[in-house]
Chains A and B, each alone.
Chain A
């Protein structure tokens, strides 16, 4: 049974609104009284995924389901897709253009961070069609 269902449109290439979906989820979890350590993990993982949609995919959609014991985050875009997921997951791998690097992105640490801060993460991607990233963070120990 879903305790709470949230959906967000994430605008592409917009760095003013970038991060607002993760921010909203962070606030919601805090309000629900979720342990701050879990809130921090979720916020980081979702922010990285959200920013990737903003930078690499021209935007997308975030669907979030919050259960008493876990959160499930699905990030879906219709961007260019990821040709080699294993390579994209490597620490330091980035195709971010210079203009985006000047803003502080492009360390190639976003996907590794998402993996590190979640209990499970799955990427499905088809070149030319888009990418769907599903992440789960368990609140229970």
Chain B
């Protein structure tokens, strides 16, 4: 019997740094039975959205450390909308100033996970929003 698997794209937009954090999350999700599509560093919003489309993911998880979270989230959401996609959930992890969290949520980000969030929290949230 094949139960449906949740599919999550983990991507890291922007030019900054490393992807250690993103990889840890990806591993954690895998261990929770989720299929993680991992695209690594330096992804443009266009690449992220195209990938999400081809992979038919349920969730896009962006890992952002650069401080450019507003731009990337707006752009990804905009591109999804342009493509007529309304069933992909966007979540963000990384270093996001607390005062920006409600702003991100107001533009359409479903949840924001700060550094040190236990993976189980992320898994729980994903399972809850993706009812498969």
Asked if A pairs with B, the answer is no
Taking beta carbons and an 8 Å cutoff, which residues of A are in contact with B?
A: none
Taking beta carbons and an 8 Å cutoff, which residues of B are in contact with A?
A: none
